[in-house]
Amino acid sequence: ETGVTQTPRHLVMGMTNKKSLKCEQHLGHNAMYWYKQSAKKPLELMFVYSLEERVENNSVPSRFSPECPNSSHLFLHLHTLQPEDSALYLCASSQAASGRAGGELFFGEGSRLTVL
Amino acid sequence: SQQGEEDPQALSIQEGENATMNCSYKTSINNLQWYRQNSGRGLVHLILIRSNEREKHSGRLRVTLDTSKKSSSLLITASRAADTASYFCAPISLAGNQFYFGTGTSLSVIP
């Protein structure tokens, strides 16, 4: 198994659908992250979890709902999205939820979301 | 803003040439990290330089850091077509501790 696995790799959904993105890490890390990457924009840090507790929520609309049932799994539940939410959603993990500790992020391959 | 800003936005060079990209940031940092992203894939960590370091090497990569100018540069020597990717910096501020990225530098290495 690779370090960080994201499923599905591609997802097409209508604005009224409910879907979920899944991320699993096999590195024994304590922190997990969701990023949104849209064309021509900086990567947007959405949520950070440390030991299953949310430690950062960067003003993300409520139509995105994260869930971290344990330190190895992270979900992003999607509900009534807008076309502008179409993007590449990247999951990452790190040993600690602090860049100051000198750790690095390990990313998954991303889930490409298209909202029709 | 805690994110870095990479410059130039796009860079195209011939195989064998050196590629230099820059990162500017606004806050005092603990360390700065560079990542690479192949098209449509996840980011991969390349190198970390601490605030008390001025230069660091890893294979064909050379990173410099000038904290007085709040800037860093990434040099890739003897570039290869496989180096074609986007490159991002993440300055880790003293005040915060999260990883914020900019829009990256898109590097094209022409065979």
Per-residue HEC secondary structure of chain B comes to CCCCEEECCEEEEECCCCEEEEEECCCCEEEEEEEEECCCCCEEEEEEEECCCCEEEECCEEEEEECCCCEEEEEECCCCHHHCEEEEEEEEECCCCCCCCCCCEEEEEEC
Per-residue pLDDT, B71:
97
Q: Which residue of A has its CA nearest to B47?
A: A104
Range B27-45 average pLDDT:
95
Q: Point out the residue among B42, B88, B103 whose CB comes nearest to the CB of A109.
A: B42
Cα torsion at B17, B23, B24, B28 (round to 10°)?
A: -130
Give the lowest-confidence range in A83-87, B55-59, B99-103.
B99-103
3-state DSSP assignment of residue A16: coil
Rounded to whole angstroms, the Cα distance separating A8 from A11 reads 7
CB-CB neighbors (< 8 A) of B99 in chain A = 33, 45, 92, 94, 99, 105
Of B69 and A99, the structure prediction assigns the larger pLDDT to B69
For chain B, give the mean pLDDT: 95
A43 — contact with chain B (CB < 8 Å)? yes
Indicate if the pLDDT at residue B96 is higher than 90.
Answer: no
A12 — contact with chain B (CB < 8 Å)? no
Which residues are within 8 A (CB) of A45 and not within 5 positions of it... i.e. 6 or more apart? A33, A34, A35, A56, A58, B98, B99, B100
Per-residue pLDDT, B75:
98
What percent of chain B has pLDDT above 70? 98
Per-residue pLDDT, A1:
54
Per-residue pLDDT, B20:
98
In angstroms, the Cα distances linking A104 to A31, B39, B98 are 11, 21, 11
Per-residue pLDDT, A57:
81
Q: Mean pLDDT in each 10-residue stretch from start to end of chain A (116 residues)?
A: 90 93 96 94 93 86 95 96 96 87 91 96
Per-residue pLDDT, B2:
79
Asked if A99 and B102 come within 8 Å (Cβ–Cβ), the reply is no
